Amino acid sequence: MEKQPLSKFDRYIKNSVKESVLEDYKNNSVIRGLIQLVPYGALVDNMITISYNNILIDRSKIFYSELNSGSIILTPEVIESEDFLHAYFSTYKAALYTRQRNKIRFFARLLRSGLIEQSIVNINEYEDYLKILDELSY
């Protein structure tokens, strides 16, 4: 998987605009519609949305790359387990909403080790580890 660098505009957005503002903007159709009424507003709307999506894609690539670096065996029973699905989606969401690339890798390692060591069987303990990791800074 070839990693493409973020564009200059994407890097500017990533480094200067709070991600919560970008997410709120992306999910607010009224504001987006009003901005599109302004001259060149549609262009600005498109650039902001694309930049935000590129940031999430970049983080996803880091997460899945790290997750794939170990030996995980996903059986149909594991994939269909509610505890596994909860752990997976909670971990993935936490990874997407952190800026620190090394922390994203730690989230992937937590999920991978949970699968290898069968600690996802105790989902409450896994959630505790996830919350601790989420609160730590790199």
Listed by start position, the domains of the chain span 1-59, 70-138
Average pLDDT value for residue range 117-122: 70
Query: For position 19, what pLDDT does the model report?
Result: 64
Query: For position 61, what pLDDT does the model report?
Result: 92
Distance CA 9, CA 16 (A): 11
Quote the crossing angle between the two packed helices 29-37 and 41-68, to the nearest 10°.
140
Query: For position 42, what pLDDT does the model report?
Result: 77
Residue 15 has pLDDT above 80, yes or no: no
Average pLDDT value for residue range 75-102: 87
Hunting for tokens 């564009």 — which residue is that? 7
Average pLDDT value for residue range 3-22: 60
Average pLDDT value for residue range 108-124: 80
